[in-house]
Structure 1
Amino acid sequence: MNGIGLILRALHHGERHLAKELTTVAERHRTDHEIHHIATDLARWSTAHARRLADAGRDHDLNLSEPPQEPSSGPLSALREKAAEALGHRPEPGLLLLRDLRDLHVDAARNSLYWEMLAQAAQATKDEDLLSLAAACHPQTLRQMRWTNTMIKELSPQILTSL
């Protein structure tokens, strides 16, 4: 496997991981509607990125598995919702939310670096398909980072000074 294949594999894994973590955070903080809805939307972006990377991987003789299906509503979803409601009444969820946002930010930053590496390699090899993939997906990853950073800036003073 060449370097482009390595980056495609790492980025595919990173986008799948970020989608999973965003979904987990959305469920964990279900009582915070802004966090829940935006994290759910951002998870869809990463899922779409992973699908597009799997398609691009086929062009580079890589078999990247498809991203996981979005979680269904079922007994586990109901249990997560009840747990989120219970947590919403204790002071610790604020710290948990800050930790979750920090972890999401680091995951998105890692993906951003991989997108940049992929774009540079695509330019060097004149691979227009990969360049256009990076140009389409990387800005959304940067928006994921901006969202986590903004939420950390908004929530940190309130959460950290109320302990």
Structure 2
Amino acid sequence: MTVHLAHYLGLLHRAQLTLADAFRQVAAAHGDEPDIDLLCRQQAERCDDHAARLEPFARRYAEDAPEEPERLHSELFRGTRTGGIGLLRDLQDLYLMAAECDVCWTVVGQAARGVRDRDLIEVVTSCDAETAIQLAWLRTRMKAAAPQALVVAD
């Protein structure tokens, strides 16, 4: 029975779309940082692609699934902040959202192996690797932003 797999695919799909939107908001709010604008927009496109790649599987496994349970989706991002400390906090929020996606990719990947869905396994493997790159970039960018944000006043 793949009822719960459908729920997790829905969770992951929504998490990717929410992360894409958050990346775009951070790009717009911190456009004075050239790398933030460009790289956040690129990461948003990557998240959109991940969501699009999940859609066929969400449809396939949702055929007999009941409605999603309450509180399935988390809400980690509530908008951008300003200044150096704001950038650092926004990057941290993005990191937590990407980490949620990372965990979901792991769970969905295990389920895909359980149902022997080779196509889903292929999507999970590819997207999970790209999510790991997002996490690494966000961690590196937070390290770069921290000294300015925490030691030097705005």
8 A contact 2:3–2:62 mirrored in 1: no
| Structure 1 residue 154, shift from structure 2 partner | 1.1
What is aligned with 1:23? 24
C-alpha distance in 1 between matches for 2:56 and 2:36: 30
For 1:154 and 1:103, the matched residues in 2 are separated by 16
Q: Which amino acid aligns with 1:30?
A: G
- For 1:41-120, list aligned pairs within 5 A: 41-61=42-62, 93-120=83-110
TM-score normalised to the size of structure 1? 0.79
Report the alpha carbon displacement of residue 148 of structure 1 after superposing the two structures with TM.
Answer: 0.8
Amino acid at match of 1:52: R
User: Does residue 156 of the first structure (1) align with residue 146 of the second (2)?
Assistant: yes
Which 5+ residue runs of structure 1 have no aligned equivalent?
63-86
SS at match of 1:30: coil
Q: How many Å separate the matches in 1 of 2:86 and 2:148?
A: 14
Number of residue pairs the alignment of both structures matches: 135
Letter in 1 for 2:109: A
TM-score by length of 2: 0.83
Report runs of 4+ in structure 1 exceeding 4 Å deviation: none
CA–CA separation in structure 1 for the residues paired with 2:32 and 2:113: 44
Q: Which amino acid aligns with 1:101?
A: L
C-alpha displacement of 1:103:
0.2
* Identity percentage of aligned residues: 30
CA–CA distance in 2 between the matches of 1:26 and 1:16?
15
AA partner of residue 107 (structure 1): M
RMSD after superposition: 1.5
